[in-house]
Chain A
Amino acid sequence: MKLTRRKLASALAPALLATRSARTGAAQTAAPAASEALDGARARIKQNGEILARQTVPGDTEPAFQFKA
């Protein structure tokens, strides 16, 4: 059987559509997961910052890196 390009396109269209919607679905579920992971990472940084803020450091304590002129 010979198929014209148009017939081939219309025959494949439902399959392509299904694939595309499956991909979109996957992307939609991946996006909240990524966003949750980012929120979690931000929350950990915030929590760490709060722990650091509770630490007292003598006023004359310089940070532990050296600058050489």
Chain B
Amino acid sequence: MAAIPDNVFFATATELNARLVAKEFSVEELARAFSARLDQLGPRYNALALSIPQYARRQAVAVARDLKNGRLRGPLQGIPYGVKDLLSVANHPTTWGAKPFAGQVFDYDATVVQRLNDTGSILTGKLAMVELAGGGGYRFASASLFGPGLNPWDRTRWSGGSSSGSAAAVAAGMVTFAIGSETSGSIVTPASFCGVTALRPTYGLVSRHGAMALSWTLDKLGPFAHSAEDCGHILQVIAGKDSSDPGSAGKSFYYVPQYARPMKDLRVGYAPVDFDARAEASARPAFQAALSVVRQTGAQLVETKLPPFPYGPILSAILAAEEASSFESLITSGKVDQLADAAQIAGLKAAIELPARDYLKAMRLRRLIQQEFQKFFSQVDMLVTPARPGPAPKIDEPLDGAAASAPTPPSDPGFGAIIPAGNLAGLPALVVPCGFAGNLPVALQFVGAPFSENTLLTAGREFQQLTDWHRRRPPGL
């Protein structure tokens, strides 16, 4: 048996696949090494929901046979991955991170799991998450069946939510890539806090069949990985029409960076205040240096503004109405009281009383937001802004504590509301690590028009050719 070198745990999928094809080590050896690492490190960061080494071993044997017979299925073949525990894996527990669903088992695979398995990726485990993806509005990082998600860069900090385990597992090299979900910030936030690359795809591009429904008109699934290029390869596999998902856009995605417009041909919108007064002081040097790198790509930076709407209240109304319907029986049965976070319990109970007029008004405003973003993206090709204004908060502090104690925000809102705005309009976003605030990573996000993933991935790839933040490893790992 070949010894698995330590550097495989932080290699990109493309690199690992090349080494598998070159027979540097076998698929079985790789799967065994990653399964052992997930078992060892997963509990240390509360990142692991379920380890499935035997499942992985069976898959690895089949993939090894394919490789031996020359059946090559692309850069994800033989690559270990994990999925957020809101995705069903046939005959294995799917807890949605919540005590009332701790014993839940489905008899079918989620479409994304099926597609990744069909391409020869090796599923080694299910990853921890905030209970019910946090839709009720949680107040503490401990709002999870698995305990608070601990950050691989500093265990006294939060890994972010709700895709806590997906981000932490990639950051700590427990899996080469992971699938998470976003309704409003659940991919962008943990990717930023854990210093990994991640993509929130356009609404409807990736099937949600087999995923927990929090909000039918907002939920999206996307990858966490070690590079923008890997995100492109993963998206190519998981995207595509699925008649089992009524929200499916019916579109495929082909990762073709060679045909995408280079950054030097693009107009990139930004708001200077985002990189200055709106950013936490400790993160400003990193954000400003990152903006210089974007400029260095040759992109034309254009000062611009977010169309003015009350994005937060609009998103809250839509999310509350849809989650209350999705979890109606949980709420009315009283089982909602078994959740870990008091604010989340209260949020779900109150959501069931939301007036229909609020939901419909919010959905009508959402139409106007979509129209405004069409105009916006006729003026710029994408926008760039910090993924989060600062690094991960401390694990035990209330998540609304920082906002309450923050100094008065500047009058210019910049792109401060881009997370609810982008989710309301179904826009894709790519998160790339861009430096550190102290010992903690921070990140940029590139946000584009619907179905502009190739443009965003090209921006990310060019940014990562000029920087090595995505190659950094947490201390001791």
Q: Which residues of A contact B (CB under 8 A)?
A: 33-34, 37-38, 40-42, 44-45, 47-49, 51-53, 55, 57-58, 61-65
User: Would you mind naming 20 contact pairs between A and B with Cβ atoms under 8 Å apart?
Assistant: A34-B342, A37-B342, A37-B346, A38-B346, A44-B316, A45-B316, A45-B350, A48-B313, A48-B316, A48-B317, A48-B358, A49-B354, A49-B357, A51-B313, A55-B309, A55-B310, A55-B365, A61-B367, A62-B367, A65-B363
Tell me, in angstroms, the Cα distance from A47 to B180 when the chains sit together.
Answer: 31
Q: Which residues of B contact A45 (CB under 8 A)?
A: 316-317, 320, 350-351, 353-354, 358
B236 part of interface (Cβ distance < 8 Å)? no
B368 part of interface (Cβ distance < 8 Å)? yes
CB pair A38–B355 under 8 Å, yes or no, is: no
A48-B358, A55-B310, A62-B364 given; A41·B317 CB < 8 A? no
Give min CB distance, A55 to chain B, whole Å: 6
A48-B317, A52-B361, A63-B360 given; A41·B367 CB < 8 A? no
Q: State which residues 255-284 of B face A: CB under 8 Å.
A: none
Q: Which residues of A contact B310 (CB under 8 A)?
A: 51-52, 55
Task: State which of A40, A41, A52 has its C-beta within 8 Å of the C-beta of B362.
Answer: A52
User: Which B-chain residue is minimally distant from A54 (CB atoms)?
Assistant: B310
B51 part of interface (Cβ distance < 8 Å)? no
Tell me, in angstroms, the Cα distance from A64 to B343 when the chains sit together.
Answer: 29
CB pair B355–A37 under 8 Å, yes or no, is: no
CB pair A64–B350 under 8 Å, yes or no, is: no
CB pair A57–B368 under 8 Å, yes or no, is: yes
A49-B317, A52-B317 given; A33·B365 CB < 8 A? no
Give min CB distance, A22 to chain B, whole Å: 20
B217 part of interface (Cβ distance < 8 Å)? yes
Tell me, in angstroms, the Cα distance from A41 to B336 when the chains sit together.
Answer: 15
Task: State which of A42, A52, A58 has its C-beta within 8 Å of the C-beta of B358.
Answer: A52
CB pair A33–B342 under 8 Å, yes or no, is: yes
CB pair A41–B347 under 8 Å, yes or no, is: yes
Q: Using C-beta atoms within 8 Å of the partner chain, give the interface range for chain B.
A: 20 to 34
Give min CB distance, B122 to chain A, whole Å: 37
For chain B, what secondary structure do more than half of its interface residues adopt (helix, strand, loop), or is it mixed? helix
Q: Which residues of A contact B217 (CB under 8 A)?
A: 64-65
Tell me, in angstroms, the Cα distance from A57 to B447 when the chains sit together.
Answer: 26
A49-B355, A51-B313, A52-B310 given; A41·B342 CB < 8 A? no
Q: Which residues of B contact A63 (CB under 8 A)?
A: 360, 363-364, 366-367
CB pair A57–B350 under 8 Å, yes or no, is: no
A53-B361, A57-B361, A63-B366 given; A41·B313 CB < 8 A? no
Give min CB distance, B251 to chain A, whole Å: 15
Q: Which residues of B contact A42 (CB under 8 A)?
A: 350, 353
User: Which B-chain residue is minimally distant from A47 (CB atoms)?
Assistant: B313
Q: Which residues of B contact A41 (CB under 8 A)?
A: 137, 343, 346-347, 349-351
Give min CB distance, A57 to chain B, whole Å: 5
CB pair B370–A34 under 8 Å, yes or no, is: no
Q: Report B419-441 CB contacts with A as 1/0, cut-off 8 Å.
A: 00000000000000000000000
Tell me, in angstroms, the Cα distance from A48 to B345 when the chains sit together.
Answer: 19
B314 part of interface (Cβ distance < 8 Å)? yes
Tell me, in angstroms, the Cα distance from A34 to B424 when the chains sit together.
Answer: 30
User: Which A-chain residue is minimally distant from B359 (CB atoms)?
Assistant: A63
Tell me, in angstroms, the Cα distance from A41 to B217 when the chains sit together.
Answer: 22
Q: State which residues 364-401 of B face A: CB under 8 Å.
A: 364-368, 370
Interface centre among A41, A42, A53, A55 (most CB of B within 10 A): A41
Tell me, in angstroms, the Cα distance from A61 to B367 when the chains sit together.
Answer: 7
User: Which A-chain residue is minimally distant from B321 (CB atoms)?
Assistant: A45
Q: State which residues 299-320 of B face A: CB under 8 Å.
A: 309-310, 313-314, 316-317, 320
Tell me, in angstroms, the Cα distance from A47 to B309 when the chains sit together.
Answer: 16
Give min CB distance, B5 to chain A, whole Å: 50
Give min CB distance, B139 to chain A, whole Å: 9
Q: Which residues of A contact B354 (CB under 8 A)?
A: 45, 49
The 8 closest A-B pairs by CB, nearest first: A63-B363, A41-B350, A37-B346, A48-B313, A64-B366, A41-B346, A64-B367, A38-B346
